[in-house]
Structure 1
Amino acid sequence: MVKIALQIKATLECIESLYTNHPHYQWFLKLKCSNCGEVAEKFTDLTEADKVPLKHNRSETNLAIKCKLCSRDNSMDVIEGSNGKYTNDDANKFKTLVIYDCRGVEPVDFEPKSGWIAEAEDNGKTFTDVDLSEKEWADYDEKNQVSVGVYELEWQFIKVK
């Protein structure tokens, strides 16, 4: 069991905080088998709110997946309560957004997609279902009469204890 954190870094324009629709956000990840090193061609999604039973076991997991190359059964969970917010205080530095409990696989890439929530500064508008698939997003906060946006989105995975 390896714990791997997904960290993001971005430039925020008049945005106080950026976070996901936890625990219903679909994390789209490209996974690598820890046994044979095979990297899946497609992105796989997992959601903390969704549980699937493990084979030959009575417990549940967020994702159960079999390696196409070595046929090893692997699983992965979002660690409950690990979801964080990226705030304007974190701008331009990496911050952990979520931690995964990885058993036999590890994430090697992330696809942000839609479902993010962005809260504007000065008690401005809350934007729901923000789409970061283009690694940036911009809109207008009518309440404060300012442009808002998320730019230069980057991510990395780090092993944590």
Structure 2
Amino acid sequence: MVKIALQIRAQFENVDKLYTNHPDYQWFLKLKCLSCGEESQKFHDLTESEKLPLAHMRSETNLAIKCKLCGRENMIDVVDQSNGFLTGDDTDFKTIVVFDCRGIEPIDFEPRSGWIAESANNGTKFQDVDLTSKEWEEYDEKNNVCVSIYELEWRFVKVK
């Protein structure tokens, strides 16, 4: 089992905090089979709160997929309570979630919608923020300012 963290960083304007609607957020990942090296062409989704039974192992997993090339069954789970958040003070990459990978590893991420952004100075909390385009902009009527997230980047890092 290998644990891999998804780390993000972004630039904020009048935003104090960015996080997901954990544990119901759908993580969209492209995956690579560690047995044969096959990389998925499409994004697979997994959600921490959704568990699939594995009868042959008497356990559960967030996502089990069979490699199209070598036929190996691989699994990936969101590590319980590993969800983090990004603040306006964070200037470097910060871990937002950790995945427990068995036979596969994530190679790409697509943020999509479901993020929550909290405006600075106890402003508005924006629900279901869509970061598909790697940027977002809105207006905080409570503070009469524009709020935005831009230059969103991510990377995967092996952790212990």
Same fold (TM over 0.5): yes
Identical positions, percent: 67
Matched, 1:78 2:81: no
Match of 1:31 in 2: 31
Give unpaired runs (5+ residues) of structure 1: none
- Give the 3-state SS of the residue equivalent to 2:155 in structure 1: strand
Deviation, structure 1 residue 108: 0.2
Q: What SS does the aligned partner of 2:41 have?
A: coil
Provide structure 2 residue ranges, at least 5 long, that are not aligned to the other structure.
Answer: none
- How is 1:69-148 mapped onto 2 (pairs within 5 angstroms)? 69-90=69-90, 92-148=91-147
Alignment of 1:49-88 (within 5 A): 49-88=49-88
2:47 maps to amino acid:
T
Q: What is the rounded CA distance, in whole Å, between the counterparts of 1:21 and 1:69 in structure 2?
A: 34
- The size of the alignment, in residue pairs, is 160
Q: Deviations over 1:19-77 (max 9, x none)?
A: 00100000000000000000011000000000001241110000111000000000010
Letter paired with 1:6 = L
* RMSD of aligned Cα (Å): 0.6
Q: Secondary structure at the match of 2:25?
A: coil
Distance in 2 between residues matched to 1:98 and 1:154, nearest whole Å? 14
Task: Compute the TM-score of the two structures, normalised by the length of structure 2.
Answer: 0.99
Alpha-carbon separation, structure 2, partners of 1:146 and 1:128:
17
Runs of 4+ in 1 over 3 A off after TM superposition: none
1:135 is displaced (CA, Å) by 0.2
